[in-house]
Amino acid sequence: MEEVTFKIAQESKVRKKPSFIKPWLGLKYLFKKPVTIKIPYEMTEPAKDYRGFHTLNWKTCIGCNMCGQICPARAIEMTWIEGEKRPHPKIDYGRCTFCQFCVEVCPTGALGFVESYMLTTEWKEEELQLFDWVPIPPEKFREIQEARRDWKFPVERMEFNKETGEVTYHLRDGTEFRFRILGYGLKPPAAKPAENKEAEKSAEKQE
Amino acid sequence: MIETALKVLFILLYATFVGFMFMGIIRIVTARIHRRVGPPIYQPILDTIKLLSKESNITHGFIYDFGILYAVGATILAVMFIPLGSIGVLRAYGDLILITFLLEIPMLGIMFAAMSSGNPWAGIGAQRALLTLLAIQVPLGFAVIALAEYYGTFSTYEIVMAQQISGWSIAHFPLLLAAIAYDLVLQAMFGKEPFDIMIAPGEISLGPMVEFGGKHMGLLNIQHAIALFAETLFFSNIFLGGGVVTAFSSPVLNTIAGLLVLLVKQIAVLLVATFMAAIFPRFTIDQAAKFYWKWPTIIAALGAILASL
Ligand code: SF4
Ligand code: SF4
């Protein structure tokens, strides 16, 4: 058998003698400049590609639900939007862990992310809607991020009409972003009952 | 009569305000030692205002309320006996033992209130506090004896006057020993590390203070502020030569100068305590008792013996 030698540090070298004098060295920072970032007045720069909020290129997303399948928190729900042939992912930041697996797995690169990470709301129902969104296109998000550089969520206010499914994002640069949600899930909504059943069957078969 | 009442009011306001500033200084200095910025100096005042304006105030009965008032009252009484420069209401009666005693009474008041809350954490805290109180008595006693032996009087005011002639107490070797012992005791009286065993944040979740909230805690904050002022004032008076200034011809200027001199001395005492608190970890209660009965006692006893030779 091969002989293995382990290196073990000597107890006597590791153990320090207790002292009443040495703790006073702790005072050496008393007149140094504090190492503090005064947050409301100074900003910190997040690292490049810091894992923040998502962006979605609506033109290239093919609605394959890869992102929904890999999401460990099941934060992604497919959403059917009026005028789009394929469903798009809707991300619930109440559950999202910002692991960005969904970005990694997206076959077309439609899902992306930016460095913004600040999203605070009050407990009010209408403000809590901010946590649940279909990400906006990356160019728009970047534009807002560059304009302010305070790393906040780009949507100031969200209006959601439950009956008509109309959603309005009031973006921070003052523009509005509107679309209409027709339904959720993998199956296209508003289809006739018969079709719906067929689609269900085919889905079952596929599984 | 009215003059005395005005004086009392002045001392009270001054002590509370300066006490709060001291609390702020402690927080800032501790922060700087940790390389933090820390809160603004008036932060303890804001804290206290916030506490006093709380809407819900839980009480556990008469003793629970009374203990706090008792603590505040005793602290205020202690301040009245300690000569504050040339201002003093009861300074002629301000005898060393009385003041030492009065400075410990608040602890008992807090203990009363804490024990009557029925919270086991408060009970543990109270036990620890009482043991600390017991432990500091021995060195404290010797330090007081050393002083009394050296100056031949128990009156604080006379000791201050004697220091005007013979120089600060700490300049004399036996009294220096007593001062060192007393300074170690101060650490426990302030409730600062390494002897903050009775409060022990993180260990027994604030000990006696665990049940207090709202106005009770606000009053305790005020008490703490005045106690900080009183304890540092007492130390500066008996060991650092007090604050009697006779350099100016006008008595008002003399008084103000005296207060300023005292303030500098008090802050010096406070800074030493803050430094110790920031760099030493907390003792366990048995270590603290052993420590107080060992080193400070030996030092203070030596001082007392040397002073009586
Ligand atoms: S974002 Fe990517 S992974 Fe998700 S549905 Fe669209 S194309 Fe598929
Ligand atoms: S970042 Fe992770 S947790 Fe969040 S939606 Fe994507 S896969 Fe799910």
> For ligand 1, what atom is nearest to the CA of residue A56?
1
Rounded to an integer, what distance in angstroms lies between the CA atom of residue B82 and that of residue B89? 9
B37 Cα to chain A: minimum distance (Å) = 6
3-state SS, residue B73:
helix
Nearest residue of chain A to residue B281 (CA atoms)? A23
A23 Cα to chain B: minimum distance (Å) = 6
HSE-up of A20 (CA within 13 Å, CB side)?
2
Residue B227 touches partner A, C-beta closer than 8 Å: no
Per the CB < 8 A criterion, the answer to whether B278 and B160 are in contact is no
The verdict on pTM exceeding 0.90 is: no
> Complex ipTM above 0.85?
no
Residue among B178, B30, B307 nearest A34 (CA): B30
B275 Cα to chain A: minimum distance (Å) = 7
Taking CB atoms and an 8 Å cutoff, what residues of chain A touch B37?
A: 34, 36, 38
- SS3 assignment for B148-187: HHHHCCCEHHHHHHHHHHHCCHHHCHHHHHHHHHHHHHHH
Tens place of pLDDT per residue across chain B (309 aa): 788 888 888 888 988 999 999 999 999 999 999 899 889 999 999 999 998 898 877 778 888 888 888 999 999 888 888 888 777 777 777 788 888 888 888 888 888 888 888 888 888 888 888 888 888 888 988 888 888 888 888 888 888 878 877 778 777 888 888 888 888 888 888 888 788 877 777 777 777 888 888 888 898 899 989 988 998 988 888 888 776 777 677 777 877 888 888 888 889 989 999 998 888 888 888 888 888 888 889 988 888 888 887
Rounded to an integer, what distance in angstroms lies between the CA atom of residue A168 and that of residue A52? 22
> For ligand 1, what atom is nearest to the CA of residue A64?
8
B217 Cβ neighbours under 8 A, 6+ residues apart: B51, B209
Residue B294 touches partner A, C-beta closer than 8 Å: no
Nearest residue of chain A to residue B36 (CA atoms)? A34
Interface residue of A21, A29, A37, A41 to substitute, partner B, most B CBs within 10 Å: A29
